[in-house]
Structure 1
C-alpha cells in the first residue's frame, strides 16, 4: 500500500479529533473563548479533511475540488486563532464587532482570490501533477495573493505568541502548565508550515495539515488535564478578578505569585512597585501583624484593625494552604475581607441597643414610681369614702373635714394622672425628640396661665422677667413639661401670699432659666438626694398638697435629653431656686 493512504488515514483521524473538539466547544458555547476555540478547530478540520482526500485524488480536477474544501478553513484559521488568544489572555474588550470585521477582510479576499484563481492566476501561478512519489501530487507555483496571506497569518502568529508568553510569565505555577500546552499546541500548524515553506527538507508532501494532529494531541491533553473548556482561563480569571475580597497567592518562599484586582487596590496604597515576585515582608512592611500571620501561621481566621488614609478599617483575614493534586503544599492563599461597614453597623446596633436599654430602664423606673405612688392616694380615697359612709349612717352630722381631705386626695390623684398623661403622650411610639426654635418668654407665659388657678388659690404672685425674643432650641412638649413641673413645685412649697420669680440669662451658648420661690426651702438631707434618687419620695406642700414624686424625675430626664443640666440652690425657710440650661438655636 502506498504511504499516501496511511497519511490520508492519519489526517482523517485528526479530522475526527478536531470535530470532537468542536463538539466539546459547542457544549460550552456560553463561553466566548469556547466559540472562537471551536471555530479554530472547525477551520483545521476542513484543512485536514481536504488534504486527506487531496493526496489520494487521481486527477487534477479532483485535487482542485479538495483544495477548495481546504480553503473553507485555511483563510480564517489565523484570524480565529488570534481572537481566541485575545480572549484567553484577558483582552476580551478588544474583541468587538468592528475589529472582527476588519480582521475578516483579508480572509474574505483570500477565499475569493483562491476560488477565482483560474481567471487571474494571482493566487497560484500554475498547478500541475507530479507522480514522482508513485501517486499524483499537485505542484504549486504560488502568486502574490498567496504570499500576502502567508505574511498576514504569520504576523498574527507572532503577535499571539507574544501575548501567550506575556501571560505565561505572569501566571501562577499551575496556570503556567496550561498556558505552555496552549503555546505548544499553537506551534503545530504554524511550525509545520514553516518547515514545509522553507524547503529545507525538500518534502513532496505538504506537512502543514499534520501540524493539526500535533495540536490536537496537546489540546486534548489540555482539556482533560486542566478542564480548560469546563472552566476556561478567562472565566476563572473573571471570577477571580470580580471577587470583592482581596485575594493574594504566596509561594513557599513567602513571595507573592498572584493577586486579584481588589488586592491590587489594597496593595497599591502600600507599595507602588509590582507585587508579583516581591517578598511579603516588603509589600506589607507597614503592617507587621499581617507579615507575622503570613510568615508564621499555617492557617488562620481572625479580624484585624488597619489604619488607612486616616481611617480605621476592619478586615477579616483568612490564611489557608494551597494543596496540589498530590496533596502536597505548594503555597498559601491570603484573603482579606473588608468588614468595616459591618463593624460600624454592629457598633450602631450596640449603641441603639444601649439607648433602648436605657429607655426601658427609665420607663421601668417610671412604672415603679407609679406603682408606689398611685396606690396610696387611691387607697386613702377608698378609706375616706368608707369612713364617710359609716359616719353618715351613724351620726348624720357634717363631714367637712373628710370632704376637705377627699378633695386633697382627688387633687393629688388628678395631678398624678396629668403627669402620667404628659409622660405617655410624649412616649407614644418610642422616645421622640424633635427640637424646634421657641420663644422662651411665650412658653413661660403659656404655662403660667395654666398654673393660675393653683397660684390664685394660695394668692401667690408669679413674675416673669424674661424678655421677648429669647430663643431656645428644645423639644416643645419636653420644655413645657419642665417649666410646668417646676412652677407646680414652686407653688406647692410656697406659703400663701408668697412670690415666684422666673428669669433667664445667656451663658456659654446656652440659656439658663431660673425658677425662684419664697417657700419653705429644702433640708440638707433632702438636698443630697433630691435629683439623685431613682424613686423620690414626695413631701407635703405648705397647704398640705400631696405630690407624686414624679415631676422632678421627669424634669431631670427631659433636661438631659435636650442637652442641658438641672440643679438648685436652697436655704431652709428662705426659699429655693431651680436652674436648668437649654441650648440656643444653631447658627
Structure 2
C-alpha cells in the first residue's frame, strides 16, 4: 500500500508542477504588459502561487522531516504575500487606485512579513508551529503540524482581506453591464480557487490526508488562462493603455462597448472637471453629464476628427476629438477610445490671423474711400485757390488794386486745406502706431484757452461768441497732444456748424476721480439719421458747415479713439435748430485711467 500511496503522490506532484507552469505562463503574460501597475500586481500574485505549488510538489514526495521543512520554506516565500497582492489587484480592478500607495501597501505587508519571519525561525520560538512530526499511517510520510498563534493570525488576516475584496468584486458585478459581468464573474470564480480549497482543508469537514490548497492554484490558473483568451481578462490592463497612457499629453478615455468608463489618463483630468478613479465603471451619460457634445460623440460610434469648445476651470479651451474602436486579438471590437487633443493655441492663432486679415481688409476699404474723399475735399479748395489767383491776375492786369476780399477768401481756403491735411496726418499716425501715448497732469483751462486762440480767426470771421467757463487749476490726467486734438476738433466742429452771430460755451463738471467737459453750440443741431450714425461709423462722411466749410469727417473719429485711450467716454445731445452739446470725461488721477498703452 505504501508503494501505491507514493505513486499517487507522484501523480499529485506532476499536477502541482503543471499548476506551477500555468502560473508562470500567466506571470509571463503580465510581464509583457509590465508598464501597467495592475499587470505588475497580478504577475506578482501568481508568482506567489507558483512558489506554493512548486514547493508542495516536492513536499508530497519527501521522505524526511528535514526535506519537508526545506520545501515548506520554499512555499512560504509566496504564501504570506499572496492574499495582500490579490487584495491590491482588486483595489485596482474596481477603480480604487487612490488607495494603492507605497505607504498603504507597506502597512498591509506588516503581518505577511511577520508570518514569513516567524515561519523561518519557528525552531527558536515555536509560535508558528507548536510541534511537527511525521505520520506513516497513510502509507507515506505525512507531516502533522500543530498550529501556533502566529499561524492563526496569518489565516485570520488573509481571510479578512479575502472577504473584503470579494465584497468589492460582488458590488462591482451587481452594477456592471451584462458584457462586463462575464469578466467580473471569471475574476470572482478564479479567486475562489486557492481560498476555497484552503477553506475546505482547514474546516475539517472532510478527512483529507494532504493539504489540497495548492490544487486551488491549478484550478485558478486554468480558469484565468481561459478567461484571458476568451474575454481578454488582461483588460485588467486595457489594450489601449500600453500604447497611449505612458507619456501622452492628450486626454485619453477608454470605454467598453456598453459606453461604460474603464480607464483614463492623467491628462483627462485637465479636460473633464472632477474626474477621479471612482468614476471608473460609470456610464458615459454620467461621466459626460456636463459635456453633451462628448456624450454624443461616444454614443454615435467612430467618427472623423472634429473641433469642439469646452469650458475649463479657467477659460474656454478648444479640442480636436477623435473616437475609434479598440480591437482584440481576433480583430473584434473590445471597447472605444476617445482622444482629446488641445488645439487652443492653434485656434487662437487662427483667430489672430483672421483679425489681422479683417483689419487689412478694413484698411484697404478705408484706403479706397480715402482716395475718393481726399480727391474731392482737396480738389475743391485747390480749384477755388486757382480761380482766385486767376481773378487776381486779371485784376492786376486791369489796374485794380483792392484785393482784400480775394486775399481773405484765399486765406480761408488755405486754412481749410491745412486743417484737412493735419487731420489726415493725425489719423494716419494713430492707425500706424506712430503716435506715442504719454499721459501727464494737465491744466484743462490753460489747454482750452490755448486752443481758443488758435481758433480766433475762424470764430471772428463768423462773429461767434466764445465763452470759456472752465475755472483755472482744473487738472486732468491726459496726453498733451491727444487732449489738444480733442479740444481742437470739438471747437472746430462747433464753429463749423454754428451760424453767424452764434455762441459756443465750454463748461466742466466734477465726478469721482474724473471731470466731464462739455462743448455747446447754438448751431443747427442734427437730424435723427445723423444722431444714429455719429460716433458709430468707422469712416464718417464729410458734412458742409454753415459757411461752406468742408472736411474729411475724421475729426470725431479721432476724438472718440483718443478719449477712450485716455480712459474717458464721449457722447452728445442735440436739439434740431437749437444746437448740440458734446460731452467727454477725463480722469483726474493716474489710477483712474482704464487704458495706459499706446495705439
Unaligned 5+ segments in structure 1 are 269-273, 306-312, 571-575
The answer to whether the 8 A contact 1:478-1:558 is kept is: no
Following superposition, the deviation at residue 198 of structure 1 comes to: 2.2
The answer to whether the 8 A contact 1:79-1:156 is kept is: yes
Aligned partner of 2:469 among 462, 465, 474: 465
Aligned partner of 1:107 among 112, 120, 124: 112
**Residue 371 (str. 1) matches residue 375 (str. 2):** yes
Aligned partner of 1:514 among 512, 515, 520: 520
Following superposition, the deviation at residue 216 of structure 1 comes to: 0.8
Following superposition, the deviation at residue 180 of structure 1 comes to: 1.8
The answer to whether the 8 A contact 2:464-2:504 is kept is: no
Deviations 1:361-383 (CA, angstroms, capped at 9, x unpaired): 67765554223222444566678
Deviations 1:154-195 (CA, angstroms, capped at 9, x unpaired): 222112212222222233333322222121111111111111
The answer to whether the 8 A contact 1:86-1:92 is kept is: yes
TM-aligned CA distance change 1:189 to 1:384, over 3 Å: same
Following superposition, the deviation at residue 386 of structure 1 comes to: 9.6
Does the residue aligned with 1:564 lie in a helix, a strand or coil? strand
Following superposition, the deviation at residue 462 of structure 1 comes to: 3.4
Deviations 1:469-514 (CA, angstroms, capped at 9, x unpaired): 7788998766643432343356568899x67532337699965431
Match of 2:584 in 1: 582
Match of 1:444 in 2: 448
The answer to whether the 8 A contact 2:424-2:554 is kept is: no
- Please show how residues 485-500 of structure 1 align to structure 2 within 5 Å: 485-488=489-492, 500=503
Match of 1:195 in 2: 200
The answer to whether the 8 A contact 1:473-1:583 is kept is: no
**Residue 93 (str. 1) matches residue 92 (str. 2):** no
Does the residue aligned with 1:122 lie in a helix, a strand or coil? coil
Deviations 1:267-293 (CA, angstroms, capped at 9, x unpaired): 99xxxxx9x999x99x99xxxx99xx9
Instruction: Determine the C-alpha separation between the residues in 2 that align with 1:321 and 1:29.
Output: 25
Match of 2:188 in 1: 183
Following superposition, the deviation at residue 580 of structure 1 comes to: 1.4
Instruction: Determine the C-alpha separation between the residues in 2 that align with 1:182 and 1:375.
Output: 93
TM-aligned CA distance change 1:439 to 1:569, over 3 Å: farther
Match of 1:271 in 2: none
TM-aligned CA distance change 1:372 to 1:557, over 3 Å: farther
Instruction: Determine the C-alpha separation between the residues in 1 that align with 2:110 and 2:494.
Output: 100
Following superposition, the deviation at residue 85 of structure 1 comes to: 2.1
Does the residue aligned with 1:580 lie in a helix, a strand or coil? strand
- Please show how residues 545-560 of structure 1 align to structure 2 within 5 Å: 547-550=550-553, 554=557
Following superposition, the deviation at residue 416 of structure 1 comes to: 1.5
The answer to whether the 8 A contact 1:87-1:234 is kept is: no
TM-score (norm 1): 0.69
Give the length in aligned residue pairs: 545
Does the residue aligned with 1:14 lie in a helix, a strand or coil? helix
Instruction: Determine the C-alpha separation between the residues in 2 that align with 1:38 and 1:330.
Output: 23
TM-aligned CA distance change 1:430 to 1:138, over 3 Å: farther
TM-aligned CA distance change 1:129 to 1:485, over 3 Å: closer
**Residue 413 (str. 1) matches residue 420 (str. 2):** no
Deviations 1:408-458 (CA, angstroms, capped at 9, x unpaired): 554433221112122223333499999999765344223113324555778
Deviations 1:227-280 (CA, angstroms, capped at 9, x unpaired): 4445527998x98xx9989999997xxxx98799999x9999xxxxx9x999x9
Match of 2:597 in 1: none
Match of 1:51 in 2: 56
TM-aligned CA distance change 1:540 to 1:510, over 3 Å: closer
TM-aligned CA distance change 1:485 to 1:101, over 3 Å: closer
Instruction: Determine the C-alpha separation between the residues in 2 that align with 1:493 and 1:123.
Output: 111
Does the residue aligned with 1:47 lie in a helix, a strand or coil? helix
TM-aligned CA distance change 1:350 to 1:172, over 3 Å: farther
Deviations 1:334-388 (CA, angstroms, capped at 9, x unpaired): x9x9x9x99xx99x99998999688886776555422322244456667888999
Match of 2:429 in 1: 425
Aligned partner of 1:126 among 125, 128, 131: 131
TM-aligned CA distance change 1:528 to 1:202, over 3 Å: closer
TM-aligned CA distance change 1:380 to 1:456, over 3 Å: closer
**Residue 156 (str. 1) matches residue 158 (str. 2):** no
Aligned partner of 2:66 among 61, 68, 80: 61
Aligned partner of 1:481 among 478, 485, 493: 485
Instruction: Determine the C-alpha separation between the residues in 2 that align with 1:581 and 1:354.
Output: 34
Does the residue aligned with 1:550 lie in a helix, a strand or coil? coil
- Please show how residues 202-281 of structure 1 align to structure 2 within 5 Å: 202-229=207-234, 232=237
For the aligned residue pairs, the C-alpha RMSD in angstroms reads: 6.2
**Residue 503 (str. 1) matches residue 509 (str. 2):** no
Unaligned 5+ segments in structure 2 are 310-315, 593-599
TM-aligned CA distance change 1:582 to 1:538, over 3 Å: same
Match of 1:42 in 2: 47
Instruction: Determine the C-alpha separation between the residues in 1 that align with 2:70 and 2:143.
Output: 12
The answer to whether the 8 A contact 2:427-2:558 is kept is: no
The answer to whether the 8 A contact 2:23-2:46 is kept is: yes
TM-aligned CA distance change 1:44 to 1:390, over 3 Å: farther
Match of 1:536 in 2: 542
Deviations 1:62-107 (CA, angstroms, capped at 9, x unpaired): 2221111111111222222222222222333333333333322322
Instruction: Determine the C-alpha separation between the residues in 2 that align with 1:486 and 1:88.
Output: 76
Does the residue aligned with 2:76 lie in a helix, a strand or coil? helix
Does the residue aligned with 2:571 lie in a helix, a strand or coil? coil
Match of 1:29 in 2: 34
The answer to whether the 8 A contact 1:471-1:584 is kept is: no
TM-aligned CA distance change 1:116 to 1:96, over 3 Å: same
The answer to whether the 8 A contact 2:22-2:221 is kept is: yes
Which deviates the most, 100-109 or 198-207? 100-109
The answer to whether the 8 A contact 2:68-2:143 is kept is: yes
Which deviates the most, 22-31 or 350-359? 350-359
